């Protein structure tokens, strides 16, 4: 193993942290988070060990979809700051060892975008073909194709002025861009080039399958394969910056998802989120049975050397369960979101993990230990490091996009503005700021924040967790997951108990012998010897977990 490889392909063992600037820290007291506030809290992220900061949209917006309805891809929302503030954040983050990526939301625009205003002004306008239009009436039932079925009942909307319908797979105020138009593809490349010139290290690409859907559909264009367009974006990006990344939102089954990495060539997306694995994890938690996770790990296709899975417990959208069967989804709903108000779109949950687990710190910590031990790049959503909850009084997916909780004071220390002026209300009840906040946890050695910092450090010290394929270990307990990751001279065994009852887990590792010992990376001074035949017994409390470094005689690695 060459440790230098971990800086070359830095994303293979990065720690990604996603935040919404509007909800993170308000420095000017107007009730909305801003770049100045983020700058003042950048050391919190550095202390946690974050290596890649992912910024949700900060562009000018009509603000009907929490910033995802963009009116200028090259601008900065004036409520948040200026281009100069963006550069200062990138520079300050880099000084703390963090790269910065941002959302690339180019499958649609706001209907207030100048392109769409021009496009709907006349059928002959030069921007008309920037969007997808049809002159004949669309099919009556396209609700199955709508991303938000509780808000829209068709993917086509009639534009009264021109008498034609435009395509929108999301909200009707977000018309889809026509990527079959080479001019649109050039604009997207210019957007990428612009922000990379200011220092971004790549992008999280929104809704990638929708973005590619129309590519290759223009008979007058030489683009035949939609994936050829994705390859061209990757090539363009890496010509501008060799180590920049495209982190793609591709919520598809494994076999289809890996196609967006470029197959064995690895020349499309750099990373994709492990949606099937995340959904299997929640099914396993609901059942107290590790089998869904085992099946997902075994079903993971091999990846190109330069590609990676992004693993996660929670993201900024609904906690989607759309890849589970109806019965499986019902199991997860019953366990973690039994009230209809906790569910959204009939396919997901609008909750954060700690409330779903009734605030049980054993279960919450076990889940995050599991996340960081799985091969891949862990991705955190702001507030997870302190165990934040959701606010179900807020509509839809925004229930989990509440202000960051910095202290126990008014507004959780997020803003000095009156509560009525906040961009979103803070969490109330048992997970309110007076109970869950950064300030209280910073100096508490037993806090969630301290524990998460330990997980980040140990993960970064174990590059095999980002580079290795996983080996699920045989053992007799259905509620236990035991797996091993080995890469070069590094090998780590992780064991997790999904049940409340304590258990002793027998493992047999035939390539090891009595000269080997297992050093626990999460508990001080815990060492377990290995039997002559490679056997070892691991004792776990209820919802317990252990990370065991395989230490051979003469090993020079620090443990």
Residues 6 or more apart whose Cβ sits within 8 Å of residue 538: 482, 495, 504, 505, 506, 507, 528, 546, 548
Burial status of residue 538 (CB atoms within 10 A of its CB: 0-12, 13-18, 19 or more): buried
* Rounded-to-integer distance, Cα 311 and Cα 307, Å: 13
Whether the CB-CB separation of 265 and 234 falls below 8 Å is answered with no
**Distance set, CA 260 to CA 210, 231, 257, 268, 278 (Å):** 12, 9, 6, 6, 18
Helix (DSSP H) and strand (DSSP E) numbers for the chain: 18, 22
Q: How far apart are CA 37 and CA 558, in angstroms?
A: 37
| Coil, strand or helix at 73 | coil
Task: Write the DSSP symbol of residue 137.
Answer: P
User: In a 10 Å sphere around its CB, with 0-12 CB exposed, 13-18 middle and 19+ buried, how is residue 138 labelled?
Assistant: middle
Distance separating alpha carbons of residues 452 and 446, to the nearest angstrom: 11
Assess whether 249 carries a catalytic annotation. Answer: yes
Q: How many residues does the chain have?
A: 559
Q: Are 323 and 279 in contact (CB under 8 A)?
A: yes
Kindly state the tokens that stand for 30.
């107007």
- In this structure, how many other beta carbons lie within 10 angstroms of the beta carbon of residue 323? 19
Q: How far apart are CA 226 and CA 121, in angstroms?
A: 29
Beta strands, E only, 235-345 = 245-248, 271-273, 308-312, 319-320, 343-344
Task: From the candidates 69, 213, 249, 390, give the one annotated as an active-site residue.
Answer: 249
Task: Give the Cα separation of 447 and 241 in Å (integer).
Answer: 39
Distance CA 337, CA 216 (A): 41
Structure tokens at 38: 């983020």
Q: Is 206 a catalytic residue?
A: yes
Distant-in-sequence, close-in-space partners of 73: CB < 8 Å, separation ≥ 6: 59, 106, 109, 187, 191
Question: Residue 482 has which token pair?
Answer: 């035991």
The catalytic residue among 20, 69, 206, 464 is 206
- As a whole number of angstroms, the distance between CA 173 and CA 161 comes to 16
Q: What is the rounded distance in angstroms from the CA atom of residue 159 to the CA atom of residue 480?
A: 56
Other C-beta atoms lying within 10 Å of the C-beta of residue 304: 16
Task: Report, as residue numbers or ranges, the catalytic residues.
Answer: 206, 249
């Amino acid at each position: 193993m060459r440790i230098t490889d971990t800086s070359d392909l830095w994303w293979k063992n990065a720690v990604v942290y996603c935040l919404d600037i509007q909800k993170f820290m308000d420095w000017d007291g107007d009730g909305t988070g801003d770049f100045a506030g983020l700058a003042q809290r950048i050391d919190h992220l550095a202390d946690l060990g974050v290596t890649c900061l992912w910024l949700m949209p900060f562009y000018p917006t009509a603000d009907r979809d929490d910033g995802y309805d963009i009116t200028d891809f090259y601008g900065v929302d004036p409520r948040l700051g200026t281009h100069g503030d963006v550069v200062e954040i990138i520079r300050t983050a880099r000084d703390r060892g963090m790269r910065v990526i941002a959302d690339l939301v180019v499958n649609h625009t706001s209907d207030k975008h100048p392109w769409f205003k021009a496009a709907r002004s006349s059928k002959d306008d030069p921007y008309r073909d920037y969007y997808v239009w049809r002159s004949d009436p669309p099919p009556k039932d396209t609700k199955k194709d709508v991303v938000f079925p509780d808000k829209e009942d068709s993917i086509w909307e009639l534009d009264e002025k021109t008498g034609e319908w435009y395509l929108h797979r999301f909200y009707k105020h977000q018309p889809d861009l026509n990527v079959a138009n080479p001019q649109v593809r050039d604009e997207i490349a210019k957007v990428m080039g612009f922000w990379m010139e200011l220092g971004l290290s790549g992008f999280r690409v929104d809704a990638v399958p929708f973005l590619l859907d129309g590519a290759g559909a223009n008979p007058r264009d030489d683009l035949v394969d939609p994936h050829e367009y994705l390859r061209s974006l990757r090539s363009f990006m890496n010509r501008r910056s060799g180590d920049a990344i495209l982190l793609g939102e591709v919520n598809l089954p494994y076999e289809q998802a890996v196609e967006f990495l470029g197959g064995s060539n690895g020349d499309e997306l750099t990373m994709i989120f492990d949606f099937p694995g995340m959904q299997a994890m929640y099914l396993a938690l609901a059942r107290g049975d590790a089998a869904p996770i085992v099946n997902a790990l075994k079903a993971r296709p091999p990846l190109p050397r330069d590609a990676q899975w992004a693993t996660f417990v929670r993201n900024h959208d609904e906690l989607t369960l759309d890849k589970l069967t109806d019965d499986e989804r019902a199991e997860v709903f019953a366990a973690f979101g039994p009230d209809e108000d906790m569910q959204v779109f009939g396919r997901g949950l609008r909750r954060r993990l700690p409330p779903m687990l009734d605030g049980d710190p054993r279960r919450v910590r076990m889940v995050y230990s599991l996340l960081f031990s799985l091969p891949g790049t862990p991705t955190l959503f702001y507030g997870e490091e302190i165990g934040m909850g959701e606010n179900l009084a807020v509509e839809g997916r925004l229930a989990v996009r509440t202000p960051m909780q910095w202290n126990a004071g008014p507004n959780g220390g997020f803003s000095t503005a009156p509560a009525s002026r906040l961009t979103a209300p803070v969490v109330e009840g048992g997970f309110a700021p007076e109970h869950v906040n950064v300030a209280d946890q910073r100096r508490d050695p037993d806090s969630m924040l301290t524990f998460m910092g330990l997980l980040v450090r140990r993960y970064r010290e174990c590059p095999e967790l980002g580079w290795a394929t996983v080996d699920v270990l045989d053992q007799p307990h259905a509620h236990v997951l035991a797996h091993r990751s080995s890469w070069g001279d590094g090998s780590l065994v992780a064991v997790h108990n999904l049940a409340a009852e304590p258990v002793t887990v027998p493992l047999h590792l035939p390539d090891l012998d009595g000269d080997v010992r297992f050093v626990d990376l999460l508990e001080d001074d815990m060492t377990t010897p290995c039997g002559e035949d490679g056997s070892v017994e691991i004792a776990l409390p209820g919802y317990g977990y252990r990370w065991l470094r395989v230490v051979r005689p003469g090993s020079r690695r620090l443990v």
